[in-house]
Every structure is written in structure tokens, then in C-alpha cells.
Homo-oligomer: A and B are copies of this chain.
């Protein structure tokens, strides 16, 4: 054919915009317009180009797009740890949301300590067009200042502080926790305990407050609502964190403190499933029956909560949808979007049901 576009060892032998254009009788520039979905194209031209792309099995070279267009088509998950129960679901949600929008998900770990002390190293070579920042990193001021200074796009997930500072995605924890309070009341419980989450964490405040308010509205005597903190939780302020199995261990002393009260609670709500599972384990090791002697509920609807005996009552946030919104805010743009609080769902299982035998 005497082609003046000899196929070198480039791009795995793939066609280029130039070659697609030649087949379609247009310039490479117009193929580029089609790739990027630019509107000003005659419908017939569009069809011809699409046909040519299909015929040549064309895939745009992402490195070239990245170089010329100064964007990477990568989105990056910035997280302090990979051990939380919800991590797998966060990654699953982000992976799918990215795939649906022709983006790739990159994972970057950043210890909370580093986010507080020396975040610059982390983003020396920013390799993403946008960042999804999980708690507690999304409440580390030095990291946020760095992101702002570098002009990087980011979305925070359930940030504790300064909700208007950046795009953010929330779940409506309050409604779920109030429903849980009501559920426990309806079962006949009258004395309640709460194991609070990491201090300074927005979700900690919301869940603790909602639980108390829900109980008070149901008619619980304020003297019968006890709150304790598990020792050594993640603390955004000083960069220390306790996670995974360490978190469950720390629930033991918290449960002990609640049981040591003069009028101990018969129902307990823990900030998250790890703490709840730890509380269940401690109760069982003390010879108590759950829920017969004490009911326990968590938050997150982690897989494992459904696996243990008794299965854990918990609250589910729609993480898949929330991650989809986070990605959409990064890819499509955030302008003018209101902050949305995704609805959560109470999952009643046998760690609270049926009502206690007393």
C-alpha cells in the first residue's frame, strides 16, 4: 500500500489517531475530538470515525494523552491504613467507579503520622488528577494544606472538620443511629452504654450525640446512658492510630468499665464493628450471653459481623454509592453540587434480637 505511516514497534502495534483518521478520511485532530467527546462534529463524520476506530481496533495511547493533556487519568486513594473493615468495600467502590469513567485507581498509603509531620514527600510526584482522602487523613491539616497549595483536586470522605473546605461525601449516620436507639428501646432495654470512637473524629461526635439524643427522645433516664472511650484509638491530632485487631482488643476494657457501673447497661452501641466485636468477645469471655445478658450493636456492616455468633446488629452506609459520588465529583466536577448525606440502613441481627430474657 506504500503507507507513509510504517508500523514501528510502538504502542503494541496499535493504530494511531493519524491512521484512524486516514481510514475515515479526516485528520487526526478530528479523531481526537471523537475520543474526547467534543460536541462540534458532524454526525456523519462521527460515524465514519467510529467505524474506523472499530475497524482498526483503536485504543488511544494513554501516555500520550497524559503527556500532551497534562493529566494522568489516574485517581488516587489516600489512606492511612488498609486494615479497616470497610477498606475492601471502599476499594471495590472506587475501582468500579473509576472503571466506569475510564479512570484508573491508584492506592497510596500515608501513615497518619506522616500526614501530620511531613506530607510533602507523599506528593512530590503527584500522579493523579484527583485524590480521594479517607478519614482520618482527611482531617490532617498539614496534608490538606499541601493539597491546596499544590492545587490538587481532592474529595474528602466524612471529614471531621471544616466540611465546606473541599468537596466531601457524607453518610447520614445520625438517622441510622437514631433508628438503632429506637430499636434497642423497643426491645425493652432501659439502661444503655456507648463505646465512643476516635476523639476528634467527626463520625465519633455524630454517632455519640445521635445515640444519646435518640435515647432521650424515647424516654430514657439520662442517668442510664453511659459513655466510655476505648483507650488508644486513632487520634488525628497526634498521628497515633489503633486499628484492626488492636481496636477490638481495646474494646475489652471499655466493656469492663461499662459493666462496673452501679446500674450496668443491658444494651451497648459501639462506634464501629471492630469495637462491637471486641465487646462481644469480652462479654462472652466473662461468661455473659449476647444478647441474653447484654445486647451489642456496631456500625459499618462489615462482612465479619455477619459471620460471628451471634451475628452482629449494625448500620450499613452505602460505601459503593458514596465512592461513586466521590469519583464523579472529581471527574465531572464539583461546581454547585450540594453536600449530600447518603442514607444508611439498620441491619438487625441476633446480637440484639430477640429481647433480653430479663
Copies in the complex: 2
> Interface residues of A toward B: which range?
35 or more
A303-B245, A308-B281 given; A107·B91 CB < 8 A: yes
For A9, the chain B residues whose CB sits under 8 A away are 70
Within the assembled complex, what's the spacing in Å between the Cα atoms of A94 and B343?
A: 34
CB < 8 Å neighbour of A66 from B63, B310, B311: B63
Which among A31-39, A122-130, A135-143 touches the partner chain?
A122-130
- A223 within 8 Å of B by Cβ? no
**Interface membership of A30, Cβ < 8 A:** no
By the criterion CB–CB under 8 Å, are B64 and A67 in contact? yes
Residues of A within 8 A of B (CB): 9-12, 59, 61-64, 66-67, 70, 72, 74, 82-83, 87-89, 91-92, 95-96, 99, 104-109, 124-127, 150, 244-245, 248-249, 274, 277-278, 280-282, 284-285, 303-304, 306-311
Contacts beyond the supplied A64-B67, A104-B127, A105-B106: 20 A-B pairs with Cβ under 8 Å: A11-B70, A12-B150, A59-B124, A62-B72, A62-B125, A62-B127, A63-B63, A66-B66, A91-B91, A92-B109, A95-B109, A99-B109, A104-B106, A245-B306, A274-B307, A278-B307, A281-B309, A304-B304, A304-B307, A308-B308
Interchain residue pairs A-B with the least CB separation, the first 4: A63-B66, A281-B309, A248-B307, A63-B67
